Amino acid sequence: MARTAYVTDLKSLQGECSANYLRLLRLVGDMESGQRREIALSSDEQYFGDLQLTVLEHAPYTTMVAVTQSGPLDSVMDGPRMRVHLYHDVRMAEVTDFQRQRHFSGRYRYPNAQMHQPDEKLQLNRFLGEWLAHGLAHGHTCDLPEMR
């Protein structure tokens, strides 16, 4: 049985990036460079951690945001962290850095040395979307002082 090569699903990737742009705009709004917003993730009985959004750079056509999470397991392991670029002219947000790894290809051969999935870029952007959607649905925000 012949294996077929993975073909990048551009429509899905662009859809995720567009949806993430709208989610991030709702969360970062009019924040400027250096400003940070913390979103407490909790239910009635349990605290799940804090989602932190920090605007690293803000320019007319792009904004760079650091997205991290801290929580009850910080003493055991680091929470996830991403760097996301918002492209205002095309209204898309793309994960450009995840756990200190940068520049993800749209398609990887599998297996590979880094053990990336064939659709790693799409999966990272989907993860960001789920993370932000959870924050929007279950979070409680507070603005923090600027980070300098």
User: How many other CB atoms sit within 10 Å of the CB of residue 41?
Assistant: 19
Helix ranges (DSSP H) in the chain: 10-28, 120-138
pTM of the predicted structure, to 2 decimals: 0.78
Instruction: In the chain, count H helices and then E strands.
Output: 2, 7
Q: Is the pLDDT of residue 148 over 60?
A: no
Q: Please tell me the predicted confidence (pLDDT) of residue 93.
A: 96
Tokens standing for 115?
């053990």
The most confident of 21-35, 106-120, 130-144, by mean pLDDT: 21-35
User: How many other CB atoms sit within 10 Å of the CB of residue 146?
Assistant: 13
| d(C-alpha 40, C-alpha 30), whole Å | 20
pLDDT per residue as tens digits for the range 70-99: 876 666 657 788 999 999 999 999 999 886
- The structural domains of the chain, with segments of one domain joined by +, span 35-140
66-82 burial code (b ≥16 CB/10 A, e <16) = bbbbeeeeeeeeeeeeb
The amino acid sitting at 8 is: T
In whole numbers, what is the pLDDT of the chain averaged over residues? 80
Q: Is the pLDDT of residue 53 over 70?
A: yes
Give mean pLDDT, residues 8-33: 90
Q: Is the pLDDT of residue 32 over 80?
A: yes
